[in-house]
Amino acid sequence: MSTTAALVERARRDDRAAFEALLALHGRTLLAVARAGTRNSVDAEEVFQEGTMRIWRSLASLESGDRFVAWSCSVVQHAARDRARREKVRRAAPLTDRPAPPASGPSEQRRRRIVDAVRSMPAPLAEVIELFYFGGLSYAEIANAIEMSVPTVNSRLTKARALLRRTLEQEDPNHD
């Protein structure tokens, strides 16, 4: 039995430490999914918290502990969609993160543009970027987390990077 499956078994028996260990192991992945489905880090954290509550409450419905990552990612995806439906502002409102701290130089500005550009991407493309760079997952792990094939992950990451590059070039044609 994998470490994750063992922790799921313990968490089902109301073992909070085990659930916390699950969050420690996979929280970054879940937060990456939440970030991809929201417009800013405040929304992302709320979706992450809501998703985490749903996971905790419905652990008993998970058939196999080995499917925890894919299942919990889908729970967070649903939480993000529910929130978007409720507020109907997703992808329509301007970014609402707090103003960026004073830029320390061109690289800081570019970083800010990159983060904003990723957030304005279609969710499926933003999702692979978040899982890859923020979650630190491999293609196979992303495929497992959001239940798609490895070639699809490859294809989406390729499209996401191409889109990001075009967006950055349009914003700042002189860069590089």
Partner 1 sequence: MTDRMPSGDPERIDADLNAYLDHELAAEERAAIEQRIAQEPELAQRLEDLRTLDSDLRDSYAQSPDQAEAAISRISLPRPGRLTWFAIPAAVAAGILIGLAMQAQPTAPAVPTMLGVVSVATGELTVRTGTRDEPAPGGSLLPESAIVSADDSTRGSIQLTDGSLLRLDRGASIRLVKNREIEVIRGRVWSRVSPGEPFHLLAGETSITVLGTELALQRTDARTHLQLFSGRARVEAAGATRDLAAGQEVAFEKGKLAPTRRIHSVAIATGWMLELHAFAGGRDDALADHMDRLLTDLGRTKMISIDERTVIEELHTVCRVPVARYLVSEGARTETAMRQKAARVLAEIADRSVMPTLLQALHDEDSAVRISTAEAIRMVSNAAACADPSVFRYRNEASLSATQAAQAWWANQTGAHRR
Task: Tell me which residues touch partner 1 (CB under 8 A).
Answer: 3, 6-7, 14, 16-21, 23-25, 27-28, 31, 41, 44-45, 48-49, 52-53, 56-57, 107, 110-111, 114-115, 129, 132-134, 136, 138-139, 150-151, 154-155, 157-158, 161-162, 164-165, 168, 176
Residue among 92 and 102 whose Cβ is closer to partner 1: 102
Residue among 123 and 164 whose Cβ is closer to partner 1: 164
* CA–CA distance, 158 with 151 (Å, rounded to integer): 10
Nearest residue to 68 (alpha-carbon basis) of 35, 132, 25, 127: 25
Question: HSE of 70 in the Cβ direction (CA atoms, 13 Å)?
Answer: 14
Residue among 123 and 160 whose Cβ is closer to partner 1: 160
Nearest residue to 63 (alpha-carbon basis) of 7, 142, 144, 8: 8
Q: How far is the CB of 129 from partner 1 (least distance, A)?
A: 7
Among the residues of the chain, which ranges form H helices? 3-12, 16-36, 41-58, 68-87, 106-119, 123-129, 139-146, 150-171
Q: How far is the CB of 136 from partner 1 (least distance, A)?
A: 4
Residue among 91 and 175 whose Cβ is closer to partner 1: 175
Question: HSE of 113 in the Cβ direction (CA atoms, 13 Å)?
Answer: 16
Q: How far is the CB of 96 from partner 1 (least distance, A)?
A: 16
Q: How far is the CB of 90 from partner 1 (least distance, A)?
A: 19
Q: How far is the CB of 74 from partner 1 (least distance, A)?
A: 19
Q: Please, what is the end-to-end C-alpha distance for the chain in angstroms?
A: 49
* CA–CA distance, 62 with 68 (Å, rounded to integer): 7
Residue among 18 and 148 whose Cβ is closer to partner 1: 18
